[in-house]
Amino acid sequence: MRIKQLPIHLANQIAAGEVIERPASVLKELLENSIDAGAKHIDLDVEKGGIKGIRITDDGCGIAREDLALALSPHATSKLYSQEDLFNIQTLGFRGEALASIGSVARLQLISCQSAEQGAWGISMTGHSSGEVVPMPHPLGTTVSVEDLFFNLPARRKFLRSEKTEFIQLEETFRRIALSHFALSLVFKHNQRLIYQLPAALDKLTQEKRIAKIFGKSFLQHAMQIEFAMTGLKLWGWLGLTSHTRSQADLQYVYLNGRMIKDKLVNHAIRQAYENKLYPGRYPLFVLYLELDPTTVDVNVHPTKHEVRFHESRLVHDFIYRNLKSVLTQHDGLPQNMTPSAERSEPYMSMPQPISQIKEPMAAYQSSSMMPLGWLHDKYWLAQHADGLLMLDVQQAVLLIHYAALLNKINAKPLLMPVVKNLSEAQVQSIEALAETFHVLGLQLASLSPKQIILRGIPANFYRLDAASLLNELCAAELAPNLSQSELIWVLAKASSHAVNVNQLEPQQLISKLEDLSAQATELNIKPMVVLNLQELAKIIAR
């Protein structure tokens, strides 16, 4: 077969296939263009979920008359001129593809005015043909109208969902972008009905008003405003506490230098910070802004630009993980009866149950009738039970067993290899102040030098654990020097449950131990084990 150069409109349509999936993707590209143009205000009119039309008007820098046709051509951009620019991207767009792609699969009109002297000019593109540049009335700024998406690609149009579904997607894109640029004022109408009117939010108060409109008022009552920085890296935003979670991970917004991202590394760091603090099936809420030097991240990784590549991925991961974890540990780390701060409105363990019909745990699971099914993500152990499916959260089980063990007097078991850790002087002093209490609990932890601590022994009846991880977990908990013994028991039990090597545990043995710990489980409101009967499973599957 011979090789042929693709006609330009076909190449555009192929490019559109990568980024223009539905009206919401058109909206994202148009909003990003307006933001890149320095708009302060954007008016958005959408018809029939965006399938019929999307019109966006901004007061940005506009496009010169002689550049209008170029703006609709592929690989034409004002945001990137050289290879060096590609590694220092400061704008949301840079591929010079979006308008050409949209114009190849819809009816597009672009009108722009850069200065009163030049006047306003417009150009249209329908599928593969673009018209003449003609004078049009328009104030300073740009309007882009996109109608009849996929009118010339019936196969793609067939994949569009109902007006309602497409509108939900559009709204989601709008909400994400609205929280990416607080200084921008936005008006959003659907079928001529006002949906959002967001004034510019230049101070924290108005920013929180905008967040409340998008995340709901209760979010801020259960969120911490955070801000952390180190050389070249900053993380700020609002972090939802574990007392307020959702059954879906839909209110989790993350931005990198003003760009909304759905990046695996960043998500992993956040997920890890929340690990073991949430019931299975519950998801936290957060709006987080990561800022770093654009030369240290590659955003040219994926056509939709949702994924990025950090040059120092480990550093970024740890920076996010450690800071978020320390906030969550401080605010959620203690059960209600040990709560250090008066402002907490909900008890630590008040998280909603993942499944309302969960049975009372512990009692009546004689283990001989169980058939092990295996491990799930090294976290849950599953077994067939006479009633249905038994699920054991192994870390929670260890937490409870260690907690109960610590309530009794315990001896220390010396470590074969003591572990040393460098800390700040203040941290070493806090640990020194707690050494006596730790000793009573069987943890031989002491200062080695003004900036070093040493762990020599751990409680004898703890399950086998990684001593270095235990020490890291304890230090991450940022121990206050005046913690009481009961508070330390909780912290130590929790830290040790994170440090156990889950694979080396015997789940059936854990289950038999849990049977004697119903009282402690109720006191702490922990349910490490549930059994779903067959009717409950059928309901979940049918949901």
Ligand X SMILES: Nc1ncnc2c1ncn2[C@@H]1O[C@H](COP(=O)(O)OP(=O)(O)OP(=O)(O)O)[C@@H](O)[C@H]1O
By the criterion CB under 5 A, which residues form the site for Mg ion? 33, 93, 98
Q: Name, in order, each residue with C-beta under 8 angstroms of 481's C-beta and a sequence gap of 6 or more.
A: 429, 430, 433, 434
- Give the span between the Cα atoms of 26 and 96, in whole angstroms: 14
Residue 13 contact among ligand X, Mg ion, none, beta carbon within 5 to 8 Å by kind: none
Q: Give the range of 32-40, 257-265, 309-317, 360-368 binding ligand X by CB under 6 A.
A: 32-40
Smallest distance from ligand X to CB 174, Å: 16
- Give the span between the Cα atoms of 532 and 385, in whole angstroms: 9
Q: Which of 23, 49, 50, 93 binds ligand X (CB under 6 A)?
A: 93
Q: Which of 31, 94, 124, 243 binds ligand X (CB under 6 A)?
A: 94
Q: Name, in order, each residue with C-beta under 8 angstroms of 362's C-beta and a sequence gap of 6 or more.
A: 514, 515, 517, 518, 521, 529
Smallest distance from ligand X to CB 303, Å: 9
- CB-nearer residue toward ligand X: 78 or 472: 78
Residue 243 contact among ligand X, Mg ion, none, beta carbon within 5 to 8 Å by kind: none
Q: Which of 23, 50, 60, 333 binds ligand X (CB under 6 A)?
A: 60
Q: Which of 31, 99, 397, 441 binds ligand X (CB under 6 A)?
A: 99
79 lies in the binding site for ligand X (CB under 6 A): yes
User: Site for ligand X (CB under 6 A): how many residues?
Assistant: 23
- CB-nearer residue toward ligand X: 39 or 287: 39
The angle at the Cα of 213, spanning 207 to 214, to the nearest 5 degrees, equals 95
DSSP-derived 3-state class of residue 351: coil
Q: Which of 13, 77, 243, 395 binds ligand X (CB under 6 A)?
A: 77
Residue 493 contact among ligand X, Mg ion, none, beta carbon within 5 to 8 Å by kind: none
- Give the span between the Cα atoms of 181 and 204, in whole angstroms: 13
| Residue 507: CB atoms within 10 Å | 21
Smallest distance from ligand X to CB 77, Å: 3
Q: Give the range of 47-55, 59-67, 281-289, 397-405 binding ligand X by CB under 6 A.
A: 59-67
| Amino acid letter, residue 368 | S
- CB-nearer residue toward Mg ion: 93 or 237: 93
Q: Which of 33, 104, 329, 396 binds ligand X (CB under 6 A)?
A: 33
Token pair 């004689």 is found at 366
Q: Give the range of 27-35, 239-247, 442-450, 503-511 binding ligand X by CB under 6 A.
A: 27-35
With contact defined as beta carbons under 8 Å apart, do 170 and 21 qualify?
no
Q: Give the range of 57-65, 277-285, 322-330, 387-395 binding ligand X by CB under 6 A.
A: 57-65
101-140 footprint of ligand X as x/- string (CB under 6 A): ----------------------------------------
Tokens matching residue 531? 């059994």
- CB-nearer residue toward ligand X: 80 or 338: 80
Using CA atoms, how far residue 64 sits from 45, 60, 71, 137, in Å, is: 24, 12, 10, 15
Q: Name, in order, each residue with C-beta under 8 angstroms of 217's C-beta and a sequence gap of 6 or more.
A: none
Residue nearest to Mg ion (CB): 93
Transcribe 460-504 into DSSP letters: TTSPSB-HHHHHHHHHHT---TT--HHHHHHHHHHHHHHHB-GGG
Residue nearest to ligand X (CB): 93
- Give the span between the Cα atoms of 116 and 223, in whole angstroms: 47
- CB-nearer residue toward ligand X: 63 or 270: 63
* Order of all β-strands in the sheet with 286-292: 223-230, 233-240, 286-292, 252-256, 259-260
Token pair 């170029």 is found at 70
CA dihedral sign of residues 309, 315, 317, 319: negative
Buried-exposed string 219-235: b where 16+ CB fall within 10 A, e elsewhere: bbebbbebeeeeeebeb
With contact defined as beta carbons under 8 Å apart, do 149 and 23 qualify?
yes
**Interface positions, 144-203, toward ligand X (CB under 6 A):** none
Smallest distance from ligand X to CB 71, Å: 4
- CB-nearer residue toward ligand X: 97 or 332: 97
95 lies in the binding site for ligand X (CB under 6 A): yes
Smallest distance from Mg ion to CB 119, Å: 24
- CB-nearer residue toward ligand X: 33 or 185: 33
- CB-nearer residue toward ligand X: 95 or 210: 95
Interface residue list for ligand X (CB under 6 A): 29, 33-34, 36-37, 58, 60-63, 71, 77-79, 93-100, 142
